[in-house]
Amino acid sequence: MDCLFCKMVKGEIPCTKVYEDDKVLAFEDINPAAPVHVLIIPKEHYDNVGDDVPQEVLGYLLQTVKKIAEIKEIDKSGYRVSINTGSDGGQTVNHLHLHVNGGAPLYCGSLVI
């Protein structure tokens, strides 16, 4: 399958790793939208969160968020986790991924940025 993130899992395309284990890979986003912008992906391919993803996989991805926040030292200051899904959701890479953003206030009044 011609999937960018699967190629990263296989080591065919380089990435700046933040964390890796047998189930997930986390790496720096190439085009950061905040001072901290890490992507967490399952090593197994799922198109997106609507792709019959097993509960264990979803749970493990969310548990990994905490590890990433500690590694990037944003666990105290806070962060945002987002999963863009499909075209209206702004998903550009069709391999399930969580964005972890932080390192600066990500809000302006009630306006979410």
Pick the stretch among 53-61, 66-74, 84-92, 101-109 that binds ligand 5GP (CB under 6 A).
84-92
48 binds ligand 5GP (CB under 6 A): no
> Which residue is listed with tokens 């009044």?
109
Tell me how far apart the alpha carbons of residues 69 and 48 are, in angstroms, rounded to a whole number.
22
Q: How far is CA 56 from CA 39, 62, 63, 88, 91, in A?
A: 19, 10, 10, 27, 23
User: Could you tell which of Zn ion, ligand 5GP, none binds residue 27, using a CB distance below 5 to 8 A set by kind?
Assistant: ligand 5GP
Token pair in block for residue 10: 């296989």
Which of 90, 109, 110, 112 contacts ligand 5GP by CB under 6 A? 90
Residue of 11, 52, 56, 92 interacting with ligand 5GP (CB under 6 A): 92
